[in-house]
Amino acid sequence: MAKFLVQKSGPLEGDVTISGSKNAVLPIMAAALLTEDKCVINDAPALRDVDVMCRLLESLGASVNKNLECNTVEIEACGELTWEAPFDLVKMMRASILVLGALIVRTGRATIPLPGGCAIGKRPVELHLKGLKALGVRIDEDQLARGIVDASADKLEGSIIYLDFPSVGATEVIMMTAAMAEGTTAIENAAQEPEIVDLANFLNKMGARIKGAGTDTIKIDGVDSMKGVSHHVIPDRIEAGTFMVAAAITKGSILIRNVVPDHLKAVIAKLRECGVVIQMTDEGVLVRGDVNEMISTDIKTLPYPGFPTDMQSPFMSLLTVAKGPSVVIETVFENRFMHVGEFNRMGANIKTDGNCAIIPGDKELQGAQVVATDLRAGAAVVLAGLVAEGTTEISQIYHIDRGYENFVEKLRTLGANIMRVDEL
Ligand code: EPU
């Protein structure tokens, strides 16, 4: 198993170009199943999750031509598709559930085995299913009790769907299904993430009639057919936020290119509270951790436009070394503090109580053997390793490969002392 070795590094300096968004490209790839025409997706990041989605779409009968060196994926789902998603792919990537809606539209059926809980929470899908049922989809309850979503429909009809929580995945699956249902659908308390807007833009280019994406109510007038299109995926706001923290924690100065600052309002506001100087320039966002001393702040994760849960662990790395204590409250996932144990191995002395973490701050971290417990937690311990004395050895880095394109190369270009080693 490969590992990262990270040594204390000086201030990170230079510029970095952000890749296309993982969480935008995955639903867009699933949505390409809605047409028999070819869709060309540009700025698709070369990531393990994108690779798994390519294999999943192929296993369902689509022809997929990926050239991730050029960051393009072409998907052509002409002909018959199978409705059964194989467990060996689904268990590798929870986002496999995103094919649910498009498969029902195309084949009238979808069976997807659920992988169960993961390191950050239980990850149920009852909101996806509630929405689909409202559109006329039958769910086999016996199969569901065995952990298999077996969904079928003869006819899809628009409906009003209220989501008890603004789930990103549920909003995406319902949007894809309703796009080709008869009549009008309204999703109330919909997720408002930029990735939802990108999916709606992609679907609208294909011929869908979706309004209100990015607000809490999305209205969808169903259409009969969709056509192939070409699309550029939005930049990855979580990758951008991670590099912002890298500049802050190392007291460096990084120009972040290919970023939409509006997607990062909460993260930028919180970094400024810590003393980071952030300037919008014509070329990108200049993030300077070399101007002021870093001071503590409190954060509470929320659905967009609140502070993103995916930035909670990377931001916590900064709070471990900032001056003064901080409180972090996680409200989106019920178990997203696995990284706390890893930070504590490095001397952070964080205490948790339920969904609340208390970070004393002011710590001089020490390198240690730590684990990337999930994708973002993995990035977080890399950031901590950049300022820790000695060597930080990070295992289970396949999590990081799922979501950060060329992470080591990008960090090394900025001056980070990090290398990937294959364990003997
Ligand atoms: N939830 C339910 N019932 C449901 C659906 C969700 O209770 O039917 C709960 C979840 O258990 C969780 C919360 O709602 O506690 C948020 O889940 P959501 O459905 O919004 O998340 P997701 O669609 O599974 C996406 C991202 C995650 C990101 C979350 C929240 C993708 C592929 N994944 O997941 O990204 O954390 O939204 O913003 O888009 C990551 O990139 O590291 C990552 C985990």
Q: What CATH number is associated with residue 337?
A: 3.65.10.10
Q: How far apart are the first and last CA of the chain?
A: 8
Query: Does ligand 1 come within 6 angstroms of the Cβ of 311?
Result: no
Ligand 1 pocket, 131 CB below 6 A? no
Same domain? For 135 and 240 the reply is no
Ligand 1 proximity of 99 Cβ (cutoff 6 Å): no
Predicted pLDDT at 30: 98
Going from the Cα of 124 to the center of ligand 1, the distance in angstroms, rounded, reads 9
Do residues 251 and 228 share a domain? no
Element (H, E) at 130: helix 126-134
Q: Would the pTM count as exceeding 0.75?
A: yes
Residue 260, both tokens: 């939409």
Phi (first) and psi of residue 299, to 5 degrees: -135, 150
Which residues lie across from 173 on neighbouring strands? Answer: none
Q: CA 342 to CA 340: how far, in whole Å?
A: 5
Strands (DSSP E) contained in 224-289 are 230-232, 253-257, 277-280, 285-288
Q: Distances in Å between the alpha carbon of 117 and those of 98, 114, 142, 191, 309?
A: 16, 9, 19, 21, 17
Q: Are residues 8 and 36 in the same domain?
A: no
Q: Which residue of 25, 49, 114, 165 sits with most ligand 1 atoms within 8 Å of its CB, as the best mutation to test the pocket?
A: 165
What confidence score (pLDDT) does residue 97 get?
96
Residue 112 CA to ligand 1 centre (angstroms): 17
Q: Are residues 124 and 196 in the same domain?
A: yes
Residues 272 and 192 placed together within one structural domain of the fold: no
> For the residues of 323-383, what is the DSSP string, one character each?
BS-EEEE--S-TT--HHHHHHHHTT---EEETTEEEE------B--EEE--SHHHHHHHHH
Residue 204 three-state SS = helix
293 plus 215 within the same structural domain: no
**Separation CA 153–CA 159 (nearest Å):** 15
* Residue 63 CA to ligand 1 centre (angstroms): 28
The tokens 């970070």 sit on which residue?
359
Q: Is the distance from the beta carbon of residue 415 to the nearest atom of ligand 1 less than 6 Å?
A: no
Q: What is the per-residue pLDDT for 168?
A: 98
* Predicted local distance difference test score (pLDDT) of residue 424: 55
- Please tell me whether residues 165 and 292 are part of one structural domain: no
Point out the domain boundary residue: 198, 232, 266.
Answer: 232
Spacing, Cα 364 to ligand 1 middle (Å):
33
DSSP 33: G
Which segments in the chain show pLDDT lower than 70? 116-117, 424
Residue reference for tokens 């200049």: 286
Together in a domain, 311 and 258: yes
Instruction: Kindly state whether residues 157 and 218 are assigned to the same domain.
Output: yes
Task: State in Å: Cα 169 to ligand 1 middle.
Answer: 6
Ligand 1 within 6 A of CB of 66: no
Expressed in percent and rounded to 5, the helix, strand and coil fractions of the chain are 35, 25, 40
For ligand 1, say whether the CB of 305 is within 6 Å of any of its atoms.
no
DSSP 395: E
Which of 59, 68, 56 is closest to 29 using CA atoms?
Answer: 56
232 φ, ψ (degrees, to nearest 5): -105, 125
Whether residue 64 is found in the same domain as residue 13: no
Can 54 be counted among the known catalytic residues?
no
Say whether both 92 and 47 belong to one domain. yes
User: Which of 213, 232, 251 is at the close of a domain?
Assistant: 232
Q: Where does a domain end: 209, 232, 255?
A: 232
Q: Residue 39 belongs to what domain range?
A: 22-232
What Cα–Cα distance (Å) separates residue 142 from each residue in 112, 138, 147, 150? 14, 12, 9, 9
Q: Which amino acid is at 5?
A: L
Number of domains present in the structure of the chain: 2
Q: Which residues pair with 253 in a beta bridge?
A: 13, 288
Q: Is residue 96 located within the same domain as residue 27?
A: yes
Catalytic residue among 54, 118, 274, 356: 118
Residue located nearest, by CA, to atom 20 of ligand 1:
167
